[in-house]
């Protein structure tokens, strides 16, 4: 089943401070301590486990949410697949969004559900 | 990393209507249409993909949340590992819980994050 990507563009409008990475740069590494999730403002990000590509996160997709949810180290490595701009969301803002915008919580869950289905398909 | 199970016992107090299954009975099958998630009130439930055991869900754990989140068919099969009582949560109640109890949303995400870490470890 091909699904439309889940779209978090509402959180990355003009004026939101973003970080830039060149194609090939590492955004975070598996095992790193984690304080943020990221929304892709422009470009694409590849999620890797060792040499295996788990996923390509498109514009307006999120990544890095797991470590924020369970306070464990990064479970995978994120690499800029193109030149990218990503918007960080810290823990406090994440908890605020979950508490105040149920739609955000549901979209995070949808993203995770899709990742779980993909992971289970690969098993 | 061994984590304590995420505990949804607050939702399955006395008087909440539960469904009973005998050890070995199928609760739902991969590919089934889905309207509910379940909380284990007593006993244990095994989640299977073909002949592979993905997880054993303990008392007060949840299962079946993915199909509710993304409205897709069941991604795996759930079988009573012991005699069990499970409490169904329908879509409306699920959305209500997410909107009104951010702690519930976060616990669902924690459960999914743990499943994703396990799935990625198995890849």
Q: Do the beta carbons of residue A86 and residue A18 sit within 8 Å?
A: yes
d(CA A64, CA A62): 7
Distances, alpha carbon A64 to alpha carbons A27, B9, B21, in Å: 10, 29, 38
Res. A2 pLDDT band, cuts 50 70 90: very low
3-state secondary structure of B56: strand
Query: What ipTM score was computed for the predicted complex, to two decimals?
Result: 0.86
d(CA A44, CA A60): 9
pLDDT digits (tens, 9 = 90+) for A45-85: 999 998 899 999 999 999 999 988 988 899 999 999 999 99
- Judging by DSSP bridges, how do beta strands A62-63 and B84-90 pair with one another? unpaired
* Closest Cβ opposite residue A109 in set B69, B99, B114: B69
Nearest CA in chain B to A116: B116
pTM for this one?
0.87
Shortest Cα distance, chain B CAs vs residue A111, angstroms: 9
Of A67, A8, A12, A62, whose CA–CA distance to A35 is shortest? A67
Shortest Cα distance, chain A CAs vs residue B26, angstroms: 20
Lowest-confidence range among A9-18, A70-79, A100-109, B80-89?
A9-18
Cβ separation B66–A98 shorter than 8 A = no
């Amino acid at each position: 089943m091909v699904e439309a990507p889940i779209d978090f563009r509402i959180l990355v409008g003009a004026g939101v401070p973003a970080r830039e990475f060149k194609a090939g740069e590492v955004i975070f590494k598996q095992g790193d301590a984690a304080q943020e999730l990221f929304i892709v403002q422009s470009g694409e990000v590849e999620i890797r486990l060792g040499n295996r590509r788990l996923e390509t996160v498109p514009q307006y997709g999120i990544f890095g949410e797991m470590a924020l949810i369970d306070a464990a180290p990064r479970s995978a490595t994120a690499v800029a697949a193109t030149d990218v701009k990503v918007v960080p969301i810290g823990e406090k803002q994440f908890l605020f969004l979950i508490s105040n915008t149920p739609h955000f919580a549901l979209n995070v869950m949808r993203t995770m559900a899709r990742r779980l289905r993909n992971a289970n398909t690969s098993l």
